[in-house]
Structure 1
Amino acid sequence: MVRDFDAADAVGDGIADRCDAWAFIEAFAAAWYTPLTEVDGVDEADLQQAEDRLGHSLPTALREAYRLFGGRPELFEHQDPMLPPSDLFVHEDLGGVLVFRNENQGCAFWGVRVLDLGEPDPPVVVRSRDGWRPFMDRVSPACVELLLSEALVSEWSLYNACELPTDTADTVRRTFRQVALPEYPMRTGDDDSPVHWFSAPGLLLRLDGLAPYSWLHARGQTPAHLAAACGAIPGRWAHSQGTESVSGP
């Protein structure tokens, strides 16, 4: 693990194309886990078998994602996992949605409409308690979001959360740098939407919803990183933490 990785720095001005997404994912995996290798992807034969079973070709971006990190379940199998190719399925709504990710109790699904499968990097939709809605405009940034969200809950001893008072959300924006991902809905519904990401060296933060309904989730690469975030943002954190200084942008 590479300490002090800063997601906002790594994303830069945003995910302009698939190459940007895969470059970020490679850097993120190396920093938070271990570097990706040539054997960490799904075999081409497994992808072809999935396409034959489904009767649909996978979009280029989804194929590239599986080939890049589909064999590294610690990156994406915690709360809302990416499905292995053998579990991909078509949901009957919206004229058919190829589902590639689901909430671990089946409360939400992410996928690509069958009508859009011919695009190399098509839009992603999400189905939650509020029905189907647009999630992100392309598969590739949705894969970046997937890895960030799964990393957030991948180690509970390095995770904390608090409900923010109305006047505290701005403190997050002043203290941390926003990660340049597009605004998108939270799978749990409108009350927790939209979602924004922030970071500092060694720290990921996700702000769900607008005040007074905001929840802040924090994940540090080390206990010291997490304690710094909890000390910087006033609120009733779920777990007690020490207080240390944190550098702003």
Structure 2
Amino acid sequence: MDDLPDAAHALRGGLHSPARALEFVRWLAAAWTDRPLAPEDGCPADELAAAEARLGFPLPAALRSGYALFGRRDDLTRNQDPLVPPSGLYVDEESDGVLVFREENQSCAFWGIPLAELGRQDPPVVLSTGREWTPFLERMSLAWVELALTELLLGSQHYDACELPAARLPALHTLHTRLPLPDHPMWASWDESPIRWYAAPGRLLRHDGLGNLRWLHATARTPAALAALHADLPAAWVR
């Protein structure tokens, strides 16, 4: 297991800046997918400029830089709650306007940046399930990390999930390191909030909820690592 990728080790320096967040996304692609990021995985400058011209305002630097790095990389952006391509970016006019950059695959939830915050280099992100907009993460750069982790996790060939019994929480916390992403809401149900991320060598885990309904979503880099995870956290795993 020691030679398997460890996201907790990769994030030991924290997520203090947009550059650090995108450095982690680059690491994630290299360590957890079949190929590292390449120039063609990013949206070219003319595509982003065309989006800005259509919208009538410049994109915040943190949003633009994420698109430029991996906005065309489907395995990191479009498995479950897809990133909107630059040509599809739009403003939701309710609540004084929100620039929408991500949508749940059946349009049940939306992620965006309030227009009033667009002048910030790394603005906050808000979430809506079709009603009011609520806070999601305090910085766009953190939302890039969450997006890449979620899309990789839920699209993984070694993905599994379970309702985690309370008795297994000590093992979750003892055997895994929490990643430095703040608590953030699960769009489908406030009962399944907050979301917290954990890692160990060869494992990525997302724990949803603190109450009676606790879901654990997990992926492993190899079948053997997934089998070891099952053994460490016995539960009614879906697969």
Do they fold alike, i.e. is TM over 0.5? yes
SS of residue in 2 equivalent to 1:31: helix
Superposition deviation, residue 164 in structure 1: 1.5
2:195 equivalent in structure 1: 195
Superposition deviation, residue 191 in structure 1: 0.7
Q: Contact 1:164/1:211 (CA < 8 Å) preserved in 2?
A: no
Deviation track 1:111-131 (CA, whole Å, cap 9, x = no partner) reads 100000010000000112674
1:247 equivalent in structure 2: none
In the alignment, the residues of structure 2 paired with residue 30 and residue 7 of structure 1 have an alpha-carbon distance, to the nearest angstrom, of: 12
In the alignment, the residues of structure 2 paired with residue 7 and residue 187 of structure 1 have an alpha-carbon distance, to the nearest angstrom, of: 24
Query: Aligned residues, how many?
Result: 236
Say whether residues 1:173 and 2:173 are aligned partners: yes
In the alignment, the residues of structure 1 paired with residue 32 and residue 123 of structure 2 have an alpha-carbon distance, to the nearest angstrom, of: 28
1:117 equivalent in structure 2: 118
1:213 equivalent in structure 2: 213
1:229 equivalent in structure 2: 229
In the alignment, the residues of structure 1 paired with residue 189 and residue 13 of structure 2 have an alpha-carbon distance, to the nearest angstrom, of: 28
The 5 A counterparts of 1:29-68 are 29-33=29-33, 34-68=35-69
Which blocks of at least 5 consecutive residues in structure 2 are unaligned? none
1:18 equivalent in structure 2: 18
In the alignment, the residues of structure 2 paired with residue 154 and residue 199 of structure 1 have an alpha-carbon distance, to the nearest angstrom, of: 17
SS of residue in 2 equivalent to 1:81: coil
2:164 equivalent in structure 1: 164
Letter in 1 for 2:116: L
Q: Contact 1:193/1:208 (CA < 8 Å) preserved in 2?
A: yes
- Segment of structure 1 superposing worse, 72-81 or 168-177: 168-177
1:76 equivalent in structure 2: 77
Q: Contact 1:128/1:189 (CA < 8 Å) preserved in 2?
A: no
Q: Contact 1:7/1:204 (CA < 8 Å) preserved in 2?
A: yes
Letter in 1 for 2:137: M
Superposition deviation, residue 181 in structure 1: 0.9
Q: Contact 1:130/1:189 (CA < 8 Å) preserved in 2?
A: no
In the alignment, the residues of structure 1 paired with residue 94 and residue 231 of structure 2 have an alpha-carbon distance, to the nearest angstrom, of: 45
Report the CA distance shift for 1:193/1:13 in structure 2 as closer, same or farther (over 3 A). farther
Superposition deviation, residue 11 in structure 1: 1.3
Say whether residues 1:98 and 2:80 are aligned partners: no
Which blocks of at least 5 consecutive residues in structure 1 are unaligned? 240-249
Deviation track 1:135-164 (CA, whole Å, cap 9, x = no partner) reads 111000110010000011113x41111101
Letter in 1 for 2:159: Y
Letter in 1 for 2:90: F
Query: Which consecutive aligned stretches of 4+ in structure 1 deviate over 3 angstroms post-superposition?
Result: none
Deviation track 1:72-119 (CA, whole Å, cap 9, x = no partner) reads 122111001111101111112220000001101000000100000010
In the alignment, the residues of structure 2 paired with residue 129 and residue 49 of structure 1 have an alpha-carbon distance, to the nearest angstrom, of: 28
Superposition deviation, residue 13 in structure 1: 4.4
